[in-house]
Amino acid sequence: MSESTETRRPANRVLPHELPASLRDAGLGNWIREPLDDAVDRRRRIIMPPAAAVMGTPASAYQGALLAEARHPDTVFMMGDNPALPAMPVRPTLRDFFRLRFSKIARTHLLQSARVARENGLDEKVIMACLLHDIAIAGLLPANHGYWGAQMVAPYVDEEVAWSIEKHEALRYFPDESVGYTYPEAYIDYFGPDYSPPEYIRQEAKAARQHRWYMTSRLVTINDIYSFDPNVVVDYDEFEDVVGRNFRQPEEGLGFDGSPVAHMWRTMIWPNNFL
């Protein structure tokens, strides 16, 4: 190695930075990863929280402070693998996202919903839709999750599966007594007893009800289980066969097949990338 290359390398030993007290108190330490032993090049890495996560919160005021921190010579923004997350394989499959990216609570919710659908003897399209229905909450964004989720999986599943994932978001708010579906108790806790869905959601639900695939999406809502019991264990392997028949796994791996939604999967592989 030439001497000039040597001098450009970051110092071997980086002392922990003392953040000003005001920034420490504001929780900025949560977004800065000190160079631990597992870090490749011993530099501090800053994670800039996404706008969608901080807009409307005090944390949005600290964008400038984080940019200033990045000007330290031993500090860079997070790009590529975050050592705090398990590394993903080169060609990730749906299974890898379930196991290496989704939180236990999100994973269990999806697997449990799919299990109930299977126990109820429902069609594989319904089981597949249940398995994927909240995938956007699990890995991307909760707001508009039905729409994000449907787009993410659309190139890989039957059109009816993607449609029912999209529409479950609106249908969840509206009872259908003919099939025994009532307004979710959990929503009273989540949104308060006075919550009323906005007009666009009402319109979506009304239109979905007239659609030929209505019952597929309705069955997603019926099997949408809100029992987040941490002791319930459902293994992804239980659904490997259903996924094999109903999810066209791209050879290049999810995120690298050049599809119009590949960037969404890459965002879940490297969720902390600055850009």
Return residues touching Fe ion (CB under 5 A). 134, 224
Return left, alpha or beta for 253; rule: phi > 0 is left, psi -120 to 50 is alpha, else beta.
left
Question: Closest distance between Fe ion and the C-beta of residue 271, in Å?
Answer: 20
**Between residues 204 and 224, which has the closer beta carbon with respect to Fe ion?**
224
Closer by beta carbon to Fe ion, 43 or else 167: 167
Which one, 154 or 262, has the nearer CB to Fe ion? 154
Q: Are 63 and 236 in contact (CB under 8 A)?
A: no
Q: Which residue lies nearer to Fe ion by CB, 85 or 188?
A: 188
Shortest approach of Fe ion to residue 48 CB, angstroms?
Answer: 28
Task: State the angle between helix axes of 159-171 and 199-210 in degrees (0 to 180), rounded to the nearest 10.
Answer: 130
Minimum distance from residue 109 beta carbon to Fe ion (Å) = 6
Radius of gyration of the chain (CA): 22
**The residue type at 258:** G
Closer to Fe ion at the Cβ: 46 or 171?
171
Compute CA distances 149 → 20, 58, 171, 179, whole Å.
Answer: 40, 28, 15, 25
Angle at CA of residue 138, ends 254 and 121, nearest 5°? 90
Q: What DSSP letter does each residue of 222-239 carry, written as one string? A: HT------TT----GGGG
Q: By C-beta, is 158 or 224 nearer to Fe ion?
A: 224
Residue 138 C-beta: closest distance to Fe ion, Å: 10
Give yes or no for a contact between 129 and 239, defined as CB atoms under 8 angstroms apart.
Answer: no
Kindly list the strands in the beta sheet with 44-46, ordered across the sheet, starting from the edge strand earlier in the chain.
Answer: 32-33, 44-46, 75-77
CA 166, CA 160: separation in Å to the nearest integer?
10
Residue 149 CB, shortest distance to Fe ion, in Å, is 8
Q: How far is the CB of 168 from Fe ion (least distance, A)?
A: 6
